[in-house]
A = this chain, B = another copy of it.
Amino acid sequence: MIAKIAILGASGYTGAELVRLIATHPNMRITALSADRKAGQMMAEVFPFLRHLDLPVLQKIEDIDFSNVDLAFCALPHGTTQAVIAALPPFLRVVDLSADFRLRDPTEYAKWYGQPHMQPALQAEAVYGLTEFYRDPIRKARLVAGTGCNAAAGQYALRPLISAGVIDLDSILIDLKAGVSGAGRSAKENLLHAELSGGTHTYSAGGKHRHLGEFDQEFSALAGRPVQVQFTPHLLPMNRGILATTYVQGDPATIHRTLFDAYAPEPFIEVLPFGTLPSTRDIAGSNFCHIGVIGDRIAGRAVVVSVLDNLTKGSSGQALQNANLMLGFDEVAGLMLAPLFP
């Protein structure tokens, strides 16, 4: 079977990444691409690296014939997505890559995003898209809400540990290093090459980053009581990749074994040997997540380092993995591309 795919918001990095991945997917064909301000253009004009592909012309969303679509990826900006998805045909399967349906509690949404949620009924229907932990609901879902890329990196390090009760819940600290493509393709002075290359700085520090809403929701649900983590993201002069250095209190060997066992059956999550820590270079361009654990010289403390590509496992690859489940395809179809190194 070949599923017909629409990508809404194809002129951004996550939209282009979806096209890149679907290009070698055996069971998917792209039948519609939207980009409101660039409607009428060819994808090859907007992203010349995709010029070898035979793709539909960019359209406005309202001009798409959704009767010819089995599943839509929605890669639109936060905030505007709710109305767009509400206006789609109610039968259409949707994988959303925005933040609009990640937080189950509309109050939390309003707190972190600064505006009330306008589609609480749709929110109630949405399944949180961290594939390895929501596989069954995702298989049956009509609407899946992709996770934040930083939120994914942190959760892969921590969820099995919280579930297993092997770490202290009140001293979790995530120091995260993120590449710049996570900030998107919009023209901003602070994202210029001349501003970013050759240096680093924090952003949204002090507990203000919105992905904390996801951490709070997920970790508290797992623990059965409120859990708050400390989280400081840094922007690095690299295009792809996230490295999350997660500091926890617990027995390092137990922590490693817990992660190793939890992810043993997973096709995309690799837990390295104890004491070996990963590099973002080894997962760039792929759907893999590498995780390493080391004990500190201070007894009872461990460092868990997780890396993933923000555009792949952190967003578009995750979205495709979820779509595979929703459409009954092999979960790894189109996703076994090796990383690109050097």
Which residue numbers of A lie inside 8 Å of B, CB to CB?
13, 16, 19-20, 23-24, 47-53, 171, 173, 175, 177, 180-181, 183, 185-189, 191-202, 205-208, 212, 228, 230, 232, 234, 236-241, 243, 245, 247, 270, 275, 277-286, 288, 290, 294-298, 301, 303, 305, 336-342
Contact = CB atoms under 8 A, between A and B. Distances in A.
Given A24-B336, A232-B245, A238-B199, A49 B282 contact: yes
Given A234-B243, A237-B238, A341-B16, A192 B202 contact: no
Given A16-B341, A187-B188, A198-B240, A230 B193 contact: no
A92 to B, nearest CB: 26
B206 A338 contact: no
Contacts of A245: 175, 202, 232, 234
Contacts of A198: 197-198, 238-241, 281, 284
A296 B50 CA distance: 28
B52 A288 contact: yes
A206 B303 contact: yes
Nearest to A238: B198
Contact of A279 (B13, B48, B173, B290): B48
A338 B298 contact: no
A171 B278 CA distance: 25
Contacts of A19: 338
A338 B53 contact: yes
Contact of A199 (B189, B205, B228, B279): B279
Contacts of A180: 192-194
Contacts of A336: 23-24, 52
Contacts of A286: 49, 52
A51 B285 contact: no
Interface centre among A20, A240, A286, A340 (most CB of B within 10 A): A340
Given A16-B341, A206-B297, A206-B303, A201 B281 contact: yes
Contacts of A243: 200-202, 234
Contacts of A185: 189, 192, 194-195
Nearest to A45: B276
A52 B47 CA distance: 29
Given A50-B338, A230-B296, A280 B201 contact: yes
A48 B273 CA distance: 12
B297 A340 contact: no
Contact of A298 (B23, B194, B207, B275): B207
A188 B23 CA distance: 29
